[in-house]
Amino acid sequence: MQRPARMTAAGWALLLLCVLVPAMGNSAMGQEAAPPAPATGPASAAGAQAESPAVTTPPPTSPDAASPAATAAKAVPMSQRPETIEKFMQYYLDMYSLHLKSPDWMARAMGVISLARLDDPRATQLLMQTMLGDKEELVRIYAWEAVHGRQDRLSPEQRYLWIRTGFDLHRQKALRGDLRLAIVGLMEAGGPTIENRQVFKDLFKNANSINPSDIRTLHALGDTLTRWRSAELIDYLLGAMKDVDTAYRAEVVLRRFGNHAPPAVTLRMESSQTMWATTRKRWQDFFEAQQFKEIRQNECRPYTGLSSIMPHGWKITDTADPRWRQDLELRNFHLDQLDVGLVLDTTASMGRPLHWVKHDVVKMMRAFEMISREPRIGVTLYRDKGDEYVTRSIPLTGSAKSLAKSLAPHQPRGGGDVPEAAYEGLEEMIRKQKWSPSPTAKKVVLLISDAPPQQDSLPKIEQLLKEAVGDRFLFHAIKVRTSKYVERSLKLANYDPDLKTFDDIGRWGNGTSVWVEFWTQSSEGRWQGTAQAASNSMAERVIFSSILRSVLQEGYRDRVDPFINVLLEYVEEPWPEDRDPFDKAGPSRPGGPPSNPQMVR
């Protein structure tokens, strides 16, 4: 296996000067060396369905089966005794070790997340081995982030290997989104060396202030700069304000110093050139007045941050805890055929959800391709009776590009009376799409709308969904917050303003109902801005987690969030920040905003 490129010796020396301090402190306090990884049985051969090898050792005895000796020691329940806890710990280590030997990358990733839940040096050793040796880059990233969740408990050697692996992954552009936060922290700990200043510039250059996945990285760069006070990097960002494609991004970073210059958008009635020239001059005046001195190497702070994505590990103190006992029954899993149908309301208020589906369907398919051997996505668009159309469908396909091309011409229109033709959309999706006939296929349908179905259609929807559930369908109802007009109309009509009918639809369909934020930011005209930081309530994470939870074995469902958060960052393809310049606004119309064809809200 080809070894990734490494940092220069000088670079490592400067970086490790600060970052090894906490680990050495732990070692000086008598931290025990990690024992060797537990012995495991041989991995099974990969077959037609790649599965984890089975654990041949029987699960530990239930705490209720007390021995005579245990009866004599009633003061300590068996489930809390050291020997019982060690037996459970060893069983889990053996089981998760076998997950790591599976030919299926998803099983290995779930093994990593499961090990991350265990606060034990042997679990750390297994994570380190996976981080350094797994054949799949994505599994190594899962392990690297899992070690990030316990980097305060690493030995100096483990910490060195974790840091080296992180910078190797960064150079290979394998870390995206919030996975880069540890790199920023480690870079900051090393101080503003030549090499670290270049890492700073690379991270800034490859970020995008319209992409929610990049916002926390930009904030972290700003926090680093406030501590480094590097004149070179400040000048670099001021220079970035000369280009509209990088100016918004530079302002996001510089505003971590505080509100020392009015936001550029306060000047958006001027031309974009004037707006950014003025904003740049204001920041330049601030920095010249401050006369910051760059941080000295001995002032750098060790990086002590822990992962916000992975568990940090828990001690087993009671084997009767349901959190641990459910793992005794985990079985192998695989996901072959996955068909996903999107039933999407395309009336006038649904512009953002339609834009999201168009923009992210390729990313969604990439994620599905990672977890399923034969994923397909189909779409049924619906409006209301009397509109241009009631339903239009795009067949289930494994080609995301073909699906995106078919969706491109569609625009949100119609639907003035608020309740929409959801029954017609669901019926067409269920009965006219060509679903997989395989008995093992997973068939998931998502209804996405900001308005309830027509009231007289609810009994028909209930019957339709219950019949489909009998044919192994699952349904999730996605509630969308869109315009105030829709909310007011529903309240005035006294008809389901909280979309409680969607709760019924989720229940009838053996699935869930959930509110989702569809947030998009324009890069056109003077109303363009920057994204909000990604959160677990954003559309892609809610929708993907709903689908994955519904098709995974129940015991794995508490591992879905870390699994999804790493996977979605990994499949994110960086896209350049392409901004449109604009001219000075024209004269105001009486009673309205300035007249300008580029104004986009």
pLDDT in tens, 160-182: 999 999 999 999 999 999 999 99
pLDDT digits (tens, 9 = 90+) for 22-42: 444 444 333 433 433 433 333
Q: Is the pLDDT of residue 71 over 90?
A: no
Q: What's the pLDDT at 543?
A: 83
What are the residue boundaries of the structural domains of the chain, listed by start? 335-518
Q: Identify which has the larger pLDDT, 130 or 76.
A: 130
Q: Is the pLDDT of residue 349 over 70?
A: yes
Looking at the DSSP assignment, which residues form a beta bridge with residue 341?
378, 445
The conformation of residue 374, written as its DSSP 8-state character, comes to E
Q: What's the pLDDT at 60?
A: 59
What is the three-class DSSP state of 408?
A: coil
Looking at the DSSP assignment, which residues form a beta bridge with residue 453?
420
Q: Is the pLDDT of residue 336 over 60?
A: yes
Q: Identify which has the larger pLDDT, 345 or 78.
A: 345
Residue type, 106: M
**In angstroms, rounded to a whole number, what is the distance separating the alpha carbons of residues 100 and 165?**
19
**In angstroms, rounded to a whole number, what is the distance separating the alpha carbons of residues 162 and 370?**
25
CB proximity list for 243: less than 8 A, separation 6 or greater: none
Q: At 566, list the tokens.
A: 């790493």
pLDDT digits (tens, 9 = 90+) for 437-470: 998 899 999 999 988 898 889 999 999 999 999 9
Q: Is the pLDDT of residue 495 over 80?
A: no
Q: At 454, list the tokens.
A: 């027509």
Q: At 390, list the tokens.
A: 């009631």
Torsion of CA 462, 466, 468, 470, to 10 degrees: 180
Q: What's the pLDDT at 483?
A: 59
Q: Identify which has the larger pLDDT, 4 or 11.
A: 11
**β-strands 374-382, 391-397: how paired?**
antiparallel
Biggest distance spanned by C-alpha atoms of the chain:
92
Nearest to 414 by CA among 439, 441, 381: 381
CATH number assigned to the domain covering 335-518: 3.40.50.410
Q: Is the pLDDT of residue 21 over 50?
A: no
Q: Which of 305-309, 473-477, 581-585, 589-593 has the lowest mean pLDDT?
A: 589-593
pLDDT digits (tens, 9 = 90+) for 245-265: 999 999 999 999 999 999 999
Q: What's the pLDDT at 575?
A: 83
**β-strands 473-480, 513-516: how paired?**
parallel
Reduced to 3 DSSP states, what percent helix, strand and coil does the chain have, rounded to the nearest 5? 50, 10, 40
The conformation of residue 281, written as its DSSP 8-state character, comes to H
Phi/psi at 381 (nearest 5 deg)? -95, 140
Q: Which residue in the block uniquely carries the two structure tokens 């192994």? A: 472
Task: Let me know: does 35 contact 155? Beta carbons within 8 Å.
Answer: no
Other Cβ atoms closer than 10 A to 522? 14
Q: At 111, list the tokens.
A: 């093994």
Distances in Å between the Cα of 312 and the Cα atoms of 32, 152, 485 are: 19, 10, 44
